[in-house]
Amino acid sequence: MKQAEIIGVKTSGNNLHGYEEAVESFDWKEAEKAFSWYETGKVNAAYEAIDRHAETERRDQVALYYSDPDRKEEYTFREMRDQSNRFGNVLKKIGVKKGDRVFIFMPRTPELYFSFLGILKVGAIVGPLFEAFMEGAVRDRLEDSEAVALVTTPQLLERVPVDELPALKHIILVGATGELTDGTYDFEKEMEAASPNLEIEWMDREDPMIIHYTSGSTGKPKGVLHVHNAMIQHYQTGRWVLDLQEEDIYWCTADPGWVTGTSYGIFAPWLNGVTNVIRGGRFSPDDWYQTLQDNRVTIWYSAPTAFRMLMGAGADVAKKYDLSHVRHILSVGEPLNPEVVRWGLEAFNRRIHDNWWMTETGGILISNYPQMPIKPGSMGRPFPGIKAAIIDDEGNELPPYRMGNLAIRTPWPSMMRAIWKNEAKYNEYFRIPGWYVSGDSAYMDEEGYFWFQGRIDDVINTSGERVGPFEVESKLVEHPAVAEAGVIGKPDPVRGEIIKAFISLRQGYEVSDALKEEIRAFVKEGLAAHAAPREIDFKDKLPKTRSGKIMRRVLKAWELDLPTGDLSTMED
Residues near ligand WTA (CB under 6 A) are 214, 259-260, 332-336, 354-359, 379, 438-440, 452, 455, 461, 466
Cα dist from 563 to 11, 196, 489, 545, 569, whole Å: 44, 64, 17, 17, 16
Report whether 150 contacts 168 (CB < 8 A): yes
- How far is 410 from 423, CA to CA, in rounded Å? 17
CB atoms within 10 A of CB 73: 13
The distance from CA 170 to its chain's CA centroid, rounded to whole angstroms, is: 26
What residues does 471 pair with on adjacent strands?
none
Rounded to a whole number of angstroms, the minimum distance from the CB of residue 264 to ligand WTA is 9
Rounded to a whole number of angstroms, the minimum distance from the CB of residue 358 to ligand WTA is 4
Task: Could you list the beta-strand ranges (E) of 62-134.
Answer: 62-67, 72-76, 101-105, 125-129
Q: What is the four-CA torsion angle of 228, 230, 231, 236, rounded to 10 degrees?
A: 160
Rounded to a whole number of angstroms, the minimum distance from the CB of residue 360 to ligand WTA is 7
Beta-carbon contacts of 537 under 8 Å, excluding residues fewer than 6 positions away, are 500, 501, 502, 503
- How far is 219 from 207, CA to CA, in rounded Å? 27
- How far is 352 from 368, CA to CA, in rounded Å? 9
Of the pair 203, 336, the CB lying nearest ligand WTA is at 336
Rounded to a whole number of angstroms, the minimum distance from the CB of residue 144 to ligand WTA is 17
Of the pair 100, 440, the CB lying nearest ligand WTA is at 440
Of the pair 123, 363, the CB lying nearest ligand WTA is at 363
Of the pair 123, 333, the CB lying nearest ligand WTA is at 333
Beta-carbon contacts of 319 under 8 Å, excluding residues fewer than 6 positions away, are 347
Of the pair 67, 214, the CB lying nearest ligand WTA is at 214
Of the pair 11, 441, the CB lying nearest ligand WTA is at 441
Of the pair 289, 452, the CB lying nearest ligand WTA is at 452
Rounded to a whole number of angstroms, the minimum distance from the CB of residue 303 to ligand WTA is 9
Rounded to a whole number of angstroms, the minimum distance from the CB of residue 173 to ligand WTA is 29
Rounded to a whole number of angstroms, the minimum distance from the CB of residue 506 to ligand WTA is 34
Exposure pattern of 141-166 as b/e (b: 16+ CB <10 Å)?
Answer: bbbbbebbbbbbbeebbebbebeebe
Of the pair 379, 551, the CB lying nearest ligand WTA is at 379
Note if the bond before 533 is cis, omega within 30 degrees: no
Tell me which DSSP letter residue 228 carries: G
Rounded to a whole number of angstroms, the minimum distance from the CB of residue 212 to ligand WTA is 8
Rounded to a whole number of angstroms, the minimum distance from the CB of residue 390 to ligand WTA is 14
Q: What is the four-CA torsion angle of 136, 138, 140, 145, rounded to 10 degrees?
A: -170
- How far is 269 from 328, CA to CA, in rounded Å? 14
Count how many residues are written for the chain: 572
With CB atoms as reference, the residue minimizing the distance to ligand WTA is 359
Q: How many helices, marked H, and strands, marked E, lie in the chain?
A: 21, 26
Rounded to a whole number of angstroms, the minimum distance from the CB of residue 530 to ligand WTA is 12
Rounded to a whole number of angstroms, the minimum distance from the CB of residue 347 to ligand WTA is 20
Of the pair 87, 451, the CB lying nearest ligand WTA is at 451
Rounded to a whole number of angstroms, the minimum distance from the CB of residue 229 to ligand WTA is 19
Of the pair 122, 259, the CB lying nearest ligand WTA is at 259
CA atoms within 13 Å, Cβ hemisphere of 218: 6
Of the pair 185, 300, the CB lying nearest ligand WTA is at 300
Cα dist from 398 to 77, 96, 125, whole Å: 48, 49, 39
Tell me the angle at which helices 304-313 and 285-294 cross, rounded to the nearest 10 degrees.
Answer: 100
Rounded to a whole number of angstroms, the minimum distance from the CB of residue 29 to ligand WTA is 26
Rounded to a whole number of angstroms, the minimum distance from the CB of residue 254 to ligand WTA is 9
Beta-carbon contacts of 199 under 8 Å, excluding residues fewer than 6 positions away, are none
Class of residue 424 by CB neighbours under 10 A (exposed 0-12, middle 13-18, buried 19+): exposed
Rounded to a whole number of angstroms, the minimum distance from the CB of residue 497 to ligand WTA is 11
Of the pair 314, 493, the CB lying nearest ligand WTA is at 493
Tell me the H-state helices in 447-503.
469-476
The DSSP line for 253-267 is ---TTSTHHHIIIII
Of the pair 356, 383, the CB lying nearest ligand WTA is at 356
Of the pair 258, 538, the CB lying nearest ligand WTA is at 258
Tell me the H-state helices in 392-468.
423-429
Report whether 550 contacts 473 (CB < 8 A): yes
Of the pair 212, 479, the CB lying nearest ligand WTA is at 212
